[in-house]
Amino acid sequence: MASDEPEPFPDICDFCGRRIGARGRLALVPDSSAIHARDPGKDGQRLIIVCSPEHLASLEEEYRRRPFVAEELWAGKISRALQGHPEDLLTPETLSAATGLSQEEIDRAVIWKMERIRRWYEQHGDDSAGDADPGPGF
């Protein structure tokens, strides 16, 4: 079919959901929840795709207002390392080597994650347990 033109961005806008056309834009924005599948150097950056320069500006502004939480980034690095080979990473030293994080960073990430879990249970409840505080768990 000669009428088929290659689409520059065969995707939809991360801001409005419309199909990406000729005015499409790609950009990297800071995002502490973004963990790259393999490359730690790309952690903390999210690739966004938008339909227009206007929506690029709008989405960049949204990400600028989102707090960049170092502990969230570190927790993501730990999760990725544990997914790779959990049986090898049970000591603080091996986890530190696998993530490139200091012991203090790992501790802060774990505390941050525990706090998120605690808040989740506060918001969503746990009807099966009568305990007010499930404890640290490890």
Q: Which residues bind Zn ion (CB under 5 A)?
A: 13, 15-16, 51, 55
- Looking at the Cβ atoms of 55 and 77, the one nearer to Zn ion is 55
Closest CB 7 distance from Zn ion, rounded Å: 15
- Looking at the Cβ atoms of 21 and 100, the one nearer to Zn ion is 21
Closest CB 19 distance from Zn ion, rounded Å: 9
- Looking at the Cβ atoms of 17 and 137, the one nearer to Zn ion is 17
Q: Which residue lies nearest Zn ion, judged by its C-beta?
A: 13
Long-range contacts of 60-65 (CB under 8 A, 24+ apart): 60/27, 60/29, 63/29, 63/30, 63/31, 64/29, 64/30
From residue 50, alpha-carbon distances to 11, 20, 29, 85, 107 in Å are 9, 7, 12, 36, 37
- Looking at the Cβ atoms of 15 and 74, the one nearer to Zn ion is 15
Amino acid, res. 110? V
- Looking at the Cβ atoms of 12 and 110, the one nearer to Zn ion is 12
Closest CB 56 distance from Zn ion, rounded Å: 9
Given a contact cutoff of 8 angstroms between Cβ atoms, the answer to whether 16 and 57 are in contact is no
Closest CB 51 distance from Zn ion, rounded Å: 3
Closest CB 11 distance from Zn ion, rounded Å: 11
From residue 53, alpha-carbon distances to 12, 50, 98, 99, 131 in Å are 14, 8, 39, 36, 52
